[in-house]
Amino acid sequence: MASDVQPKPVKRKPIEWFNLKGKRVGFWAYVGMRLSAIGLVLYLFLHLAVLSQLAVGPTAWDNFVALAKSPIFLLLDVILIIGILVHGLNGIRLSLIGFGIGVPSHKLMLWLAVILTIVFSILSALAIFSETH
Amino acid sequence: MKLNVKIYRYKPGTEPHYDTFPVEVPETANVLDALERAWADHDMSIMFRHACHHASCGSCGLLVNDQEKLPCVTPVTDYGEGATLKIDPMRNMPVITDLAVDASVVYQRMELIGMPIIRNAETIRPDKRTILPEGLETFGRFENCLECGLCLSACPVMATDPQFLGPMTLAAAERLLAEPRGADVDRVYRLVDDEHGVWRCHSSFECTEACPYEVDPGAAIMRLKRKIGMRKLKRFFGGS
Amino acid sequence: MSKKFHVIVIGAGSTGTATAHDLALRGLDVTVIERGEIASGTTGRNHCLLHSGGRYAVKDHEGAIECIEENMILRKIMHDVLELNDGLFVAVDESDLAFKETFLAGCEECHIPAREVPVKRALEIEPYLNPKILAAVQVPDGVFEPYRFCLSFLATAVKNGAQALPYHEVVAMKMSGNAVAGVRVRDYRTGQEREIDADLVVNAAGPWAEHIAAMASVDVPVQPTPGVMVTIAKRLNQMVINRLNKPADGDIVVPQRQTSIIGTTSWKVENADAIPIPQDHIDKMLHMGELMIPAVRQNPIRGVMAVARPLISKPGTDERDASRTFECFDHKYDGVENFVTISGGKTTTARAMAEKVSNIVCRKLGVEAECRTRDVVLESYRNYYDN
Amino acid sequence: MVEKQLTRERASSWSWILQAFTGIMLVVLLGLHMVVQHFVVTGGLRNYQQVVQYISNPFLFLLEIAFLIMVTWHALLGVRAIILDLGLNPATERKVTAFLSIVGVVVVAYGIWLSATIVAQGA
Q: Tell me which chain D residues have a C-beta less than 8 angstroms from the C-beta of A78.
A: none
C-alpha–C-alpha distance, residues B110 and B148, integer Å: 11
Q: What is residue D43's predicted lDDT score, i.e. its pLDDT?
A: 61
Contact criterion met (CB < 8 Å) for B222 and A21: no
A7-57 tens-digit pLDDT:
999 988 888 888 888 899 999 999 999 999 999 999 999 999 998 988 888
Question: The CATH number of the domain where B57 resides is what?
Answer: 3.10.20.30
3-state secondary structure of C193: strand
C373, burial (CB in 10 Å: exposed 0-12, middle 13-18, buried 19+): buried
Instruction: Identify the CATH number of the domain defined by range D18-122.
Output: 1.20.1300
A66-99 tens-digit pLDDT:
888 888 888 998 999 999 999 999 999 999 998 8
Summarize the confidence of residues C117-140 as an average pLDDT: 97
C283, amino acid identity: D
C385–B contact, CB cutoff 8 A: yes
Residues B75 and B115 in one domain: no
Contact criterion met (CB < 8 Å) for D87 and B196: yes
Residues B73 and B147 in one domain: no
3-state secondary structure of B108: helix
Residues B116 and B92 in one domain: no
Residues B67 and B159 in one domain: no
Contact criterion met (CB < 8 Å) for D13 and B193: yes
Q: How far is C81 from chain B (nearest CA, A)?
A: 7
Res A133 pLDDT > 80: no
C-alpha–C-alpha distance, residues C32 and C49, integer Å: 25
Q: Tell me which chain C residues have a C-beta less than 8 angstroms from the C-beta of B213.
A: 257-258
Contact criterion met (CB < 8 Å) for B124 and C37: no
H-run or E-run covering B141? strand B140-142
Q: What is residue A11's predicted lDDT score, i.e. its pLDDT?
A: 87
Other chains touching D, judged by 3 or more CB pairs under 8 Å: A, B
Asked if residues A8 and B10 have their Cβ atoms less than 8 Å apart, the reply is yes
Q: How far is D8 from chain A (nearest CA, A)?
A: 22
Please tell me which residue of chain B has the smallest CA distance to D1: B108
Q: What is residue A132's predicted lDDT score, i.e. its pLDDT?
A: 54
Asked if residues A96 and A102 have their Cβ atoms less than 8 Å apart, the reply is yes
- Which class is domain A28-131? mainly alpha
Please tell me which residue of chain D has the smallest CA distance to B110: D2
C84-143+223-310: CATH superfamily: D-Amino Acid Oxidase, subunit A, domain 2 (3.30.9.10)
Residues 6+ apart with CB under 8 A from C311: C222, C223, C225, C319, C322, C323, C324, C344
Contact criterion met (CB < 8 Å) for B213 and C258: yes
The CB-side HSE value for B123 (13 A sphere, CA atoms) comes to 11
Res C90 pLDDT > 60: yes
Question: How far is the CA of B104 from the CAs of A1, A19, B157, in angstroms?
Answer: 12, 24, 19
B198–D contact, CB cutoff 8 A: yes
A4–C contact, CB cutoff 8 A: no
The dihedral built from the CA positions of residue A116, A117, A119 and A120, taken in this order, carries a sign that is positive
Lowest-confidence range among A100-114, B207-221, C1-15, C154-168? C1-15
Total tally of structural domains belonging to chain B: 2
pLDDT band at B230 (very low <50, low <70, confident <90, very high): confident
Q: How far is B120 from chain A (nearest CA, A)?
A: 24
Res C322 pLDDT > 80: no
Question: The CATH number of the domain where B154 resides is what?
Answer: 1.10.1060.10
C211, burial (CB in 10 Å: exposed 0-12, middle 13-18, buried 19+): middle
> In chain C, what are the domain boundaries?
6-43+147-221+323-386, 84-143+223-310
H-run or E-run covering C65? helix C61-77
Q: What is the largest CA-CA distance in chain A?
A: 76
C209-223 tens-digit pLDDT:
999 999 999 999 898
> In chain A, what are the domain boundaries?
28-131
- Which chain D residues have any C-beta within 8 angstroms of a chain B C-beta? 1-2, 5-6, 8, 10-17, 81, 84-87, 93
Please tell me which residue of chain A has the smallest CA distance to B64: A22
Q: What is residue B195's predicted lDDT score, i.e. its pLDDT?
A: 85
Q: Do domains C6-43+147-221+323-386 and C84-143+223-310 have the same CATH topology?
A: no
C335, burial (CB in 10 Å: exposed 0-12, middle 13-18, buried 19+): exposed
Q: Tell me which chain C residues have a C-beta less than 8 angstroms from the C-beta of B118.
A: 80, 82-83
Please give the residue range of the domain that contains residue B158.
104-236
C221-232 tens-digit pLDDT:
898 999 999 999
Residues B220 and B110 in one domain: yes
H-run or E-run covering D112? helix D90-122
Task: Read off the DSSP letter of residue B137.
Answer: S
Task: Read off the DSSP letter of residue A9.
Answer: P
Q: Which CATH number fits domain C6-43+147-221+323-386: 3.40.50.720, 1.10.3720.10, 3.50.50.60, 3.60.20.10?
A: 3.50.50.60
A interface mutation test: which of C185, C189, C196 has the most A CBs within 10 A?
C189
C-alpha–C-alpha distance, residues C205 and C37, integer Å: 13
Question: How far is the CA of B143 from the CAs of A25, A111, B54, B124, B172, in angstroms?
Answer: 28, 33, 15, 16, 9
Mean pLDDT for chain D? 84
Q: What is the largest CA-CA distance in chain D?
A: 64
Q: What is residue B237's predicted lDDT score, i.e. its pLDDT?
A: 84
Question: What's the pTM value of the predicted model, to 2 decimals?
Answer: 0.93
